[in-house]
Copies of this chain bind each other. A is one copy, B any other.
Amino acid sequence: MNQPYPSQLLERAVGEFAKLPGIGRKTAMRLVLHLLRQEQSAVEAFGSAITTLKREVKYCKVCHNISDTDTCSICASPNRDASTICVVETIRDVMAVESTQQFRGLYHVLGGVISPMDGIGPSDLQIESLVERVKQGEIKEVILALSSTMEGDTTNFFIFRKLAPFDVKMTVIARGISIGDELQYTDEVTLGRSIVNRTLFTGNM
């Protein structure tokens, strides 16, 4: 349904919203009309929050996580274990791991995974800077926490080979049955690997 827009300003705003992933023209229209009903100041705040973020946001020069400062608050914190690095794909993964409160080390954000199909090679990712960090000799363990996909596995293997010359322990996060999952609905590969990689039962899960 090709609707004629009564206003070019409206059409432009709807068009901009409709460029966002997962937002079609109908949803875009709904969001724009919602904003139109808000106060002028609220709309200005919305617009400026986006443009200011893009203009002023920094990426940590150590771990490449998003940051308001040159070195992010995690890398700068004296309370974190600087001998352990958790390698993740994106800043969302940093936030996901942080929210578990199970990790007190530092991070390294690759910016993606090796994916020849999408034209992403090792040089497009922050792999060299990871090697540099390890080369300095203070890192004792590198935890690979990438997606459990073919691309993630490829990237894991690539990093494994790159770091092989250095005296650093390399681990990968556990793959297995998600907590709360029922065995009968788990795919065979996951189930098979969870049997091969079984851990000693100690009574506390």
Copy count, this protein chain: 2
Q: Is A66 a contact of B1 with CB atoms below 8 Å? A: no
Q: Is B3 a contact of A95 with CB atoms below 8 Å? A: yes
- Nearest B residue to A65 via CB reads B6
Q: Is A66 a contact of B6 with CB atoms below 8 Å? A: yes
From 112 to 132 in chain A, residues with beta carbon under 8 angstroms from any chain B beta carbon are: none
Contacts of A190 in B (CB 8 A): none
Q: Is A50 a contact of B54 with CB atoms below 8 Å? A: no
Cβ of A12 within 8 Å of any chain B Cβ, yes or no, is yes
CA distance A198 to B38 in the complex (A): 43
Cβ of A184 within 8 Å of any chain B Cβ, yes or no, is no
- Nearest B residue to A55 via CB reads B40
User: B5, B16, B43, B94: which contacts A46 (Cβ < 8 A)?
Assistant: B16
A-B contact pairs, 11 of them (CB 8 A): A4-B95, A5-B95, A6-B94, A7-B66, A8-B68, A19-B46, A35-B50, A36-B57, A46-B51, A47-B47, A47-B50
* A interface residues, Cβ below 8 angstroms from B: 1-10, 12-13, 15-16, 19-23, 27, 29-36, 38, 40, 43-57, 65-68, 72-74, 90-92, 94-96, 98-99
